[in-house]
Structure 1
Amino acid sequence: MKEIKCVCGHVNPNGTVLCESCGRALTEEAKNEKLHDMRYEGSARRSQTYNKSIIDKIWNFFSSVKVGVWLIIITLIASAVGTILPQEQYIPNGQPADEYYEDVYGFFGELYYTVGFHDLYSSWWYLLLIASIGVSLVICSLDRVIPLYRALKNQRVTRHVGFLKRQRIYGKTDTTEYDEPIGKIKENLTRKKYKIREEDGNILAEKNRFSRWGPYVNHIGLIIFLFGGMLRFVPGMYIDETVWIREGETRAVPGTDQEYYLENKGFTLETYDKNKDKEVFGEAIDKNGTIAKNFQSDVILYKESGERVPGQKAEREKEQEDSIKVNHPLKFGNFAVYQTSYKLDEFKSMSFTLDNKESGKSFGEFTVDLFDPQNAYTFEDGYKAELMGYYPDFSGFNEQGEPQTKSPLPNNPAFLFKLFSPEKPEGEISFVGIRKNLEPLGENDYKLSFAGVETRDVSALTVHKDLTLWILALGGAIFMIGVIQGAYWHHRRIWIRRSDDGDGLIVAGHTNKNWHGLKNEISFVLEGSGINEPVDQQQKDEVRRNEDVNDNNGRVEQ
């Protein structure tokens, strides 16, 4: 690495514009500037110095603020598009995602699924965007904070006159008396809580340097926040899954590796009564029919005990029994189980009788378990009903005349039976469903008659586990500290320097924001010292330019 040695003796990294020690301009461009660009103290940033190797190019790409902003914009747009259609975890239970999006939303839904927006926040390219933002924040911070820290740490009290002349706040007072004015200035600086350093009769007064690190503290907070967000995709760190449990059913709790099980003992729904609650809910009840007052699932939590033996069920011990209500979850370990939704009167089983159509005589009754139907149902004297096809959610017939089902859930069950009897040993085909009793191959002697239905309620329980919450909270807290640090304090420096020829006293000042406040403080510091207040050179140039424009306009009119 090529280094630059200043006249003052300080060795600066390659690419330094202003000497870190004395502030002397090291490039022709800096020497010709009216005012120095003090954004990074003229320090050497890696992204502006090296651009040869592939590492340099990657570093320079991610160190660009524009690149970081565009990455954020693209991520925000992707996040917004992900809310147009429901995410995969919110589509109806049991239907494949590729079929659901195409059936419900057509070509747009198919494209939405193909691109990966159906499971946006777990998709590889979305995670890559989040990771890229994190990389950009890290590189942006390192590219700026290290040289800035180095420049502020190495700055000498006695700065080069050219450096002071190119500060926005600058002034020189002709005087040969130094002790009394400087004594008064030091007294006023102390009252304003400046940290004072002296060298050869010159002064550097500085305060609130820590505020310069505010944006980088922001970056640290954001990096931690993004890290916490990405940890949610690590197995076991974050779970937010919905499980449907029917009354009387026992299911494993998602994310517990089948260690915990929930049994749904029963579901209860309470609604507001139109007569009792007429004053408050009368209008709403008239409009919607019923309004839920409370819905809850009475559950038992079990935990496996002992070792698992292949082919055998492990023993389960009862951990706790509770009623899960809205805003009243069941909590155990790092898990919380919430009541989120329900489905009333889901079909559990349907009963039929085998009847002779002419005589009306019944030869037996059988019940079909809609979740585990048998292949055949046998009666006495050679009568039998053989199940040839089961369609849990019958949606009609296709072009070939074959029955179809929309989903595996028994929302509209239909059956294709073959009925055997002593008179018809070859069997008769019968298609049976809700309000359907078809004979596709011609007139039958026997039929199936609907005898009853058994229903049960289903609870939708959301299992939630979040081990990243404290990381997200920590990142958010650090981010807010950085915001406060950079917004409510300002880094201010005042240089008091004797001129080289010994006939005057130079006063210069710089701040990273709130120049009006700095000028007021300099006025207070110089009060009673006999030293003239410095001028705002940028404001002076603007006034001069305006006067020149007015003069030119006057000449044109003449």
Structure 2
Amino acid sequence: MIQNTKCECGHQNHIGTVLCESCGKPLMDEDGSEVLEMKYDGVARRSQRANPDLLDWIWNFFSSVKIAIYLIVITLLTSMLGTVYPQESTFLNLDPSVYYKETYGTLGQIYYVLGLSHTFESWWYKLLLFMIGTSLVVCSLDRVLPLYRALSKQQIRKHPSFLTRQKVTFSGMLPSAGESASSEAAAVAWTSKAAEQLRKKHYRVHTDGTALLAEKYRFSRWGPYINHIGLIIFLGAVLMRSIPGWHMDQHLAFPEGKLVKIQDTPYYLKNEKFTIDFYAPDEMSEEFRAKGQDVPKVYETKAVLYECKANCSDPVKEPVLEEVHRQDIVVNKPLEYKGFMAYQFDFSLSPVLLAVKPSLKDKKTGEVYGTLDIRMDKPEEVYKAGPYELKLKAYFPEFALDDKGVPLTKSNEPKMPGFVFTITGPGMSSQWEPFIYFPRQVDKVNFRQDEINGALAEKLELSVGSMDDVTISEYISFLNIRIDRAMPYIWVGAAISMIGLIMGFYWQHRRVWLRIDDNRITLGAHTNKNWFGVRKEVADTLQKSGIAVDPKSLERRVAES
């Protein structure tokens, strides 16, 4: 660790300082011939602290540019791996544990087992982003505070060794020195003349007798740190997507005429009507005509968005809904409402049973006791038909039997709905008798409804009179539901980062120091890039101030040993 002492100019420097904060004299390697390292003007940083404690070790770890690069490379590699196969979030009604193995074989199974199938939602990926953000914050603070201290307290008169060890340097006599001894006034006059030439080149010039400091585009030094601020906001916004309600990206099915609740939101969305228009044969290419394939020209969902106002989390009570937005959704023209977006994703022609209105009647006499209004999405607990009362005991949207013959449902979609009621009324052998009902005729036959109901099936029957008593959704509209409240912050972070990049790329901080001692001019100049430009400006300034100089001669070269 560097151990500094007080500089000969009297300024006491912090441990870790390479160049005196006041006069710029090198505190180490005073007699060296190498060009000075001007990062942060040689000011000490916290990461250079002697005898670091635990907090300093953590600070030093995250302040390391090498560590930051490692974190970025690891994150990039994991991001690349996350795009080898589709992520789970892009699936619709698929079991990922089965899909990866069946579609991609052993590699797909390994991909799923390693957790790469949900890379961007995993805790370790978010931890990497958090560590990169922490590294950006610590790296910036470790460097920007010393740099600000160095640039805000610049001394005009620098030590000669500071000037002669710059990459662009000049040492020579005043133009009038060959004729007569130059007075102090002549030196001051020449300094003023040089200052005027530098001002014409848009430098801000400060003078102290025969010493001069000229600089321009200092603001460009803050470009990398503004870029860091933008990246920190960007990463923070990405991590904010983990906050409940801030981000959603899922694909949901909306049968025509059905109201569907959007999970984790107060919204319900109804597909009032789905329309599709196909290309005529003469409008299609030969390839599709040969296949006899129908190609959709446009498909549209007439969507209505509702917001829940009461009973939102009560599964027993009906939610109180208020219509808040109505829009026709087509491809690339999503429904948008206060950050909620619904994109047209796909469609299906599979009919879905939404509701049925069967009548309860006496099989022997044909007397109709009443009609039941059974909704597939939310059937009621009790139905009454004349003197009979039916209580719902179980509902299976996709009825099936396991190996032991126990009823179960394969999914929550009403593909093969089955209802188990207990019924009571006149003529019942017991107070409550079980009664099973399948709305679809094919299911009645497949699952032998009448055999299960036994003697009760000989007395009572639940059936529909016509298709007017059946509500079927012919189309299913698949919508991509998105909520991204962090997106405005992502754009702000990206814009700030771009501003920082532009500042750093298109402007360069240029400084020129000059002092005259005993008629001898000592000049040094520094920039963080474009040395040819600053060398040309210095040469032009000297030439217009009466000193003929070749620009190439201004570039300092280390003498060979």
Residue 187 (1) aligns with residue 196 (2) = yes
Farther-moved stretch of structure 1 (115-124 vs 283-292): 283-292
SS in 1 for 2:86: coil
Q: Structure 1 residue 539: deviation in Å? A: 6.2
Give the count of matched residue pairs.
506
Contact 1:45 1:147 in 2 (8 A): yes
**1:464 CA drift (Å):** 2.1
- 1:236 is paired with a residue whose SS is coil
Q: Distance in 1 between matches of 2:535 and 2:107?
A: 60
Q: 1:4 deviation in Å?
A: 4.2
CA distance in 1, matches of 2:126, 2:321: 39
* Equivalent residue runs for 1:205-220 within 5 Å: 205-220=214-229
* Equivalence for 1:490: 508
What's 1:475 paired with?
A: 493
1:271 counterpart letter in structure 2: F
Answering whether residue 538 of structure 2 is matched by residue 530 of structure 1, we say no
Equivalent positions of 1:244-263 (< 5 A) are 244-256=253-265, 258=266, 260-263=267-270
Deviation at 1:349, TM superposition (A): 8.9
Q: Deviations over 1:51-78 (max 9, x none)?
A: 5312121111111112111111111111
Asked if 1 retains the 8 angstrom alpha-carbon contact of 2:71 and 2:128, the reply is yes
Shift of 1:317: 3.4
What residue is the counterpart of 2:320 in the other structure? 315
Q: Post-superposition shift, 1:96?
A: 4.3
The root-mean-square deviation of aligned C-alpha atoms, in Å, is: 4.8
Number of the residue aligned with 2:528: 512
Inter-partner Cα distance in structure 1 for 2:279 and 2:111 = 40
Any conservation in 2 of the 1:345–1:455 contact (CA below 8 Å)? no
User: 1:160 offset after TM fit, Å?
Assistant: 0.6
Find the aligned partners of 1:407 and 1:103 in 2 and give their Cα distance: 21
1:297 to 294, 301, 306: 301
- Which amino acid in the other structure matches residue 22 of structure 2? S
> Which residue type is aligned with residue 234 of structure 2?
F
SS in structure 2 at match of 1:11: coil
Letter in 1 for 2:227: N
Correspondence 1:245-394 to 2 at 5 A: 245-256=254-265, 258=266, 260-275=267-282, 277-278=283-284, 281-287=285-291, 289-306=293-310, 310=314, 311-348=316-353, 392=398
> Percent of pairs identical after alignment?
37
Q: Are residues 369 and 112 of structure 1, via their aligned partners in 2, closer, same or farther at CA, if it must alter by over 3 Å?
A: farther
Change in CA separation of 1:142 and 1:30 when aligned onto 2, cut-off 3 Å: farther
Q: Distance in 1 between matches of 2:312 and 2:92?
A: 33
Alpha carbons of structure 1 residues 297 and 86: separation in structure 2 relative to 1, 3 Å: same
Q: Is the 8 A contact 1:254 1:463 kept in 2?
A: no
| Residue aligned with 1:304, SS | strand
* Secondary structure at the counterpart of residue 522 of structure 2: strand
Letter in 1 for 2:62: F
State the alpha-carbon separation in 2 of the partners of residues 218 and 464 from structure 1: 29
Mark the CA change 1:246 to 1:136 in structure 2 (over 3 Å): closer, same or farther.
same
Residue 169 of structure 1 contacts residue 534 of structure 1 at CA under 8 Å; is this kept in 2? no
Deviations 1:247-281 (A, max 9, x none): 2211123442x4x3222222211111113x25xx4
Match of 2:212 among 203, 215, 235: 203
Aligned match of 2:19: 18
1:162: Cα distance to partner?
Answer: 1.2
State whether structure 2 residue 127 is matched by structure 1 residue 120: no
Change beyond 3 A, Cα 1:345–1:6: same
Seen in structure 2, the aligned counterparts of structure 1 residues 162 and 342 have a Cα distance that, compared at 3 Å, is: same
- For 1:129-144, list aligned pairs within 5 A: 129-144=128-143
Q: State the one-letter code of the partner of 1:217.
A: I
- Distance in 2 between residues matched to 1:318 and 1:169, nearest whole Å: 72
**Do 2:307 and 2:321's aligned partners in 1 also have CA atoms closer than 8 Å?**
yes
Q: Are residues 406 and 72 of structure 1, via their aligned partners in 2, closer, same or farther at CA, if it must alter by over 3 Å?
A: farther
Q: Deviations over 1:442-499 (max 9, x none)?
A: xxxxxxxxx9999632111222222222211111111111111111111111122113
For 2:170 and 2:344, the matched residues in 1 are separated by: 72
CA distance in 2 between partners of 1:337 and 1:117 (Å):
27
Aligned to 1:421: none
Matched, 1:462 2:480: yes
Per-residue CA distance 1:354-378 (angstroms, 9 max, x = gap) = xxxxxxxxxxxxxx9998999xxxx
Give a deviation string over 1:272-327, Cα, whole Å, max 9, x none: 1113x25xx45444457122111112233333345669532133333444322222
Cα distance change on mapping 1:205 and 1:267 into 2, 3 Å = same
1:367-422 per-position Cα deviation (integer Å, ceiling 9, x unaligned): x9998999xxxxxxxxxxxxx9989599x999x999999866577x699xxxxxxx
Contact 2:33–2:165, Cα closer than 8 Å, also in 1 = yes
| Structure 1 Cα separation of the partners of residues 410 and 33 of structure 2 | 74
By how many angstroms is 1:106 displaced? 4.8
* Structure 1 residues 304 and 213: alpha-carbon distance in aligned structure 2, compared to 1, 3 A threshold: closer
* Residues in 2 aligned to 1:476 and 1:454: alpha-carbon distance in whole angstroms: 50
Q: Please give the alpha-carbon distance, in whole angstroms, between the structure 1 residues aligned to 2:234 and 2:313.
A: 43
Query: CA offsets, 1:424-455, max 9 Å, x none?
Result: xxxxxxxx989x9799xxxxxxxxxxx99996
After TM superposition, give the deviation of residue 187 of structure 1 in Å.
2.1
Q: Cα deviation per residue 1:93-150 (whole Å; 9 max; x = unaligned)?
A: 2x44445445544544444334332322221111100000001111111111111221
Q: Distance in 2 between matches of 1:492 and 1:303?
A: 59
- Please list, as runs of the form range in 1=range in 2, the aligned pairs for 1:38-57 lying within 5 A after superposition: 38-50=38-50, 52-57=52-57
TM-score w.r.t. the length of structure 2 is 0.76
The equivalent of 1:378 in structure 2 is: none
SS at match of 2:257: coil
Residue type at the aligned position of 2:6: K
Go from structure 1 to structure 2 and tell me whether the alpha carbon gap of 1:246 and 1:292 turns closer, same or farther (over 3 Å shift).
Answer: same
Displacement after TM superposition at 1:7 (Å): 1.6
Structure-2 separation of matches of 1:397 and 1:272: 45
> What is aligned with 2:250?
241
- For 1:146 and 1:463, locate their aligned partners in 2 and report how far apart those are by CA, in whole Å: 45
The one-letter code of the counterpart of 2:516 is R
Deviations 1:338-359 (A, max 9, x none): 22111112453999xxxxxxxx
- Paired residues of 2:157 and 2:211 also in contact (CA < 8 A): yes
Q: Is the 8 A contact 2:376 2:397 kept in 1?
A: no
Instruction: Give the TM-score, by structure 1 length.
Output: 0.76
- Residue ranges of structure 2 left out of the alignment (5+ in a row): 357-373, 381-393, 419-440, 449-463
CA 1:3/1:153 → structure 2, altered by over 3 Å: closer, same or farther?
A: farther
Aligned-partner SS, 2:270: strand
Matched AA of 1:147:
P
3-state DSSP of counterpart to 1:206: strand
Of 101-110 and 456-465, the range deviating more from structure 2? 101-110
Which residue of structure 1 aligns with residue 63 of structure 2?
Answer: 63
Residue 511 to residue 308, structure 1, CA distance change in 2 (3 Å): closer
CA distance in structure 2 between the aligned counterparts of 1:408 and 1:303, rounded to whole angstroms: 23
Of 183-192 and 322-331, deviating more is 322-331
